[in-house]
Structure 1
Amino acid sequence: MQSAIDLTYPFEGRWLTQNSPANRVPSHGTVLLATSYAIDFVPVDGRGRTAPFKLGSLVRPEPAERFPGFGRVILAPVRGVVVRVHKTSLDHESYRGLPSVGYALTQRGRVAAGWESLAGNHVMIETGDGAVVAVCHLQQDRVDVRVGQEVGVGEELGRCGNSGNSTEPHVHIQAMDGVDVRHAAAVPVTFGGHLPRNGAIIDVK
């Protein structure tokens, strides 16, 4: 297995850590598609909260635009060359309460449909040592880089969206040893030499 790759947080502002490999591996409950060490960050407001949970949240989907991070700028967490871009997936509604149960029942179909159905709009960056870092669930048509482009740490990649396998706007990060996620091996990640645990609030100025 390739040694851990150290990344920079791909955003500014306040974000909540979820599905962290600091808590369990595989972090997303599966080793499929090189996700063993993947991590999610959910954008939150100054009080560490996502969109207010209202009575309607229990019974119907909510517009992704209601959530505080929809459209926030997402940055390159590593220096490298863009090797894959996808930007045409729709940003669907968000699912909490009972709607999240119905959404979960469609998970098998998304898995069967493959990587793009799960990752949604995304960018893959190949580093100098051969690792590939995927930044997923970006906003439709707001991916600002192209294949073959060299990017530096902190360069804008796109905007936070709700595309792919996502119940509310967030960004999913994973690293692997190749571009083909069907056959790649997962690579561990750290951020500034550390790995935040579930529930940790990350503030980046």
Structure 2
Amino acid sequence: MFPIFYSIAMLIILPASFIISLWKAPFKSTLEWLLDLLVTTALIVWLFQAGNWSWVGYYVRFLWLALLIVTIIYSWKKVSNLPFTIKYSVNQKFSIGIYIILILIFGTYNALVLKSYTVAEKGIELSFPLKNGTYYVGQGGNQVLMNYHQAYPGQKYALDILKLNTFGTRASGLYPEELNNYQIYADILYSPCNGKVVDIQNDLPDLPPPKSNPENPAGNHVALACENYDATIILAHMQKGSVAVAKGEKVTAGQILGKVGNSGNTSEPHLHIHAEKDGKGVPITFNDRFLVRNSLVR
């Protein structure tokens, strides 16, 4: 249940509390208002980029931006005639210090998030392995705040991909145990390149969330050696019995590999894909796009 409470707290309660504060706080000077504005804006922009919005709805993040703009306009009308500074009490000075600390913290977060959008290494160009839907990157990018895989050298630049419904959420319900309630479950996976199958796993069970199998991290999977690239592409957490290729078989881009499942060390149904060379992760791109968290592929 922790992911549910965490998502609601971070993506709903936290931004709401900061926006309400900016809207209603009894500012005595425009400096106090400006500092509150900078903190709130930095927070909303950080959450807009780095929050995993597939839990509460992808489009909710745009609502917070709209509310922020309305709040800025409304609150400015209330403080526009105030002096820029006043003689502050000890408590007010303490509050100003807290504002400055929060600006530095959220500003640093935003700077780190911006780093995640680019990569110095040349990426391996692949065809997107899913079709017929709106797909959402839950983990992706070149920074741990956007992609926890960055902490693991062998999975660096890995992507965790979900599928969104009409409401912009990845499932019917917040964290259902029924696998079919997840939009991506049983979606067909297609080969992202021409190449050769170098490894498969096909007999591990699909587990109801939040159960996982850390002893078999990739679960059912297909590993490919793509033509023209000296790296192995791994598509993980596939559905039991769905793998449609054999080890040693040659495949072409767009050929069916199997289906998305929930096997291995996984929190819920999704596609994990990464490229690995000599034990280190390699960037991957689709149509020359380096995907990061909150990227959509339609």
TM-score, normalising length: structure 1:
0.77
2: distance between equivalents of 1:127 and 1:27? 25
Q: Residues 94-132 of structure 1, C-alpha deviation per residue, up to 9 Å, x if partnerless?
A: 23xxxxxxx6xx8xx82xx3xxx1110000000223211
In structure 2, relative to structure 1, the CA distance for the partners of 1:3 and 1:196 (3 Å cut) is: closer
Cα distance between partner residues in 1 of 2:157 and 2:295:
17
Q: Which structure has more strand as a fraction of its residues?
A: 1
Superposed, 1:62-101 pairs within 5 Å as: 62-95=177-210
Of 275, 283, 286, the match for 1:191: 286
Q: Say yes or no: does 1:31 pair with 2:126.
A: no
Of Structure 1 and Structure 2, the greater helix share is in 2
Q: Which residue of 1 aligns with 2:256?
A: 156
Show the 5 A alignment for 1:1-205. 3-12=122-131, 13-24=133-144, 27-32=148-153, 34-53=154-173, 57=175, 62-95=177-210, 110=214, 113=215, 117-128=216-227, 129-177=229-277, 184-203=279-298
Instruction: Please state how far the C-alpha of 1:162 moved relative to its aligned partner.
Output: 0.6
1:139-183 deviation per Cα after TM superposition (whole angstroms, max 9, x unaligned): 0000000011111111110001011121211100000125xxxxx
Report how many aligned residue pairs link the two structures.
176
* Distance (whole Å) between structure 2 residues aligned to residue 65 and residue 88 of structure 1: 19
Residue 30 of structure 1 aligns with an amino acid whose one-letter code is A
In the alignment, structure 2 segments of 5+ residues that lack a partner are 1-119
C-alpha displacement of 1:42: 0.6
* SS of the residue 2:293 aligns to: coil
1:30 Cα shift? 2.4
Cα distance, 1:7–1:27 mapped onto 2, change above 3 Å: farther
How many Å apart are 1:8 and its aligned residue? 1.2
Distance 1:151 1:46 in 2: 33
1:4 deviates by 2.0
| Cα separation, partners in 2 of 1:148 and 1:75, compared to 1, 3 Å | same
After superposing the two structures, state which structure 1 stretch, 81-90 or 169-178, moved more.
Answer: 169-178
Q: Structure 1: any 5+ residue segments left out of the alignment?
A: 96-102, 179-183
The root-mean-square deviation of aligned C-alpha atoms, in Å, is 2.3
Structure with larger Rg: 2
Q: Which has the higher contact order (CA 8 A, sep 6+)?
A: 1
SS at match of 1:154: coil
- The answer as to whether partners of 2:137 and 2:292 remain within 8 angstroms in 1 is yes
Q: 1:186 to 1:22 in 2, by over 3 A?
A: closer
Shift of 1:53: 2.3
